[in-house]
Amino acid sequence: MPVEKTLVILKPDAVSRGLVGEIITRFEKAGLKIVAMKMVRATPEQMERFYPSSEDWYRSAGSKLLKAYQEIGVDPRLRIGTDDPAEAGRLIKGRLVKYMTSGPIVVLVLKGNRAVEVVRKLVGPTSPHAAPPGTIRGDYSIDSPDLAAEEDRVVYNLVHASDSPAEAEREIKFWFREEEILD
């Protein structure tokens, strides 16, 4: 069935910058329907459980962090005490949890034809500096992983969106009870 539901989180930078309305409008204008929504202040425990803790994720996120240090000419062994991708990935996860719990977030479920893929397309790639104009990350942020590495934080990119229908199902269940989805 091409009609899907997907989970979106407006991250603390979207809320603090007053971009909640703008961002939701973009999804609605594309034809996606809001079927659930709430504002929450997530706990570190919640965010630890929400984001993946697989070795694959750690290695992939960690190698990007190591690359960012390389770009700014910083020796990761001196800065974070390791040049092992999995170790660097665990550090990224900690920074991500810190970011996602630094202020209120808005969690919503969007429904529509191929919603998972369409929402990822509207949001754009992870790094705002490389996200094309017309995407949410490209239009509302100029942050980048090298600047974030310089400042010992993750990249502030405004929005989280599920990256597959299977992840969407898990993530929707994580935040909403069945009766909270007004489908």
Residues that bind ligand ADP (CB under 6 A): 61, 64-65, 68, 92, 96, 126, 145, 148, 154-155, 157, 160, 163
Three-state secondary-structure class, residue 43: coil
Indicate the residue whose CB is closest to ligand ADP.
64
Give the residue with the Cβ less far from ligand ADP, 139 or 163. Answer: 163
Min dist CB 22 to ligand ADP, Å, is 19
What single letter denotes the amino acid at residue 142? Answer: I
Q: Which is nearer to ligand ADP, 107 or 155 (CB)?
A: 155
Structure tokens at 118: 């369409």
Active-site residue, selected from the candidate residues 91, 144, 160, 168:
160
CB nearer to ligand ADP: pick between 156 and 176:
156
Vertex 63, ends 116 and 143: CA angle to 5°? 60
Q: Name the residue nearer to ligand ADP (CB basis): 36 or 96.
A: 96
Question: Where do we find the tokens 């400042």?
Answer: 151
Q: CB 157 → ligand ADP: shortest distance, Å?
A: 5
Count of other CB atoms within 10 angstroms of residue 24: 19
Residue 129 appears among annotated catalytic residues = no
- 146 and 130 in contact (C-beta within 8 Å)? no
Closest separation between CB of residue 182 and ligand ADP, Å? 26
**Which string of b and e fits 133-170 if b means at least 16 CB within 10 Å?**
eebbbbbbbebbbbbbbeeebbbbbbbbbbeeeeebbe
Taking the CB of residue 53, how many other CB atoms lie within 10 A of it? Answer: 11
Q: How far is the CB of 178 from ligand ADP (least distance, A)?
A: 25
**Positions marked active-site:** 160
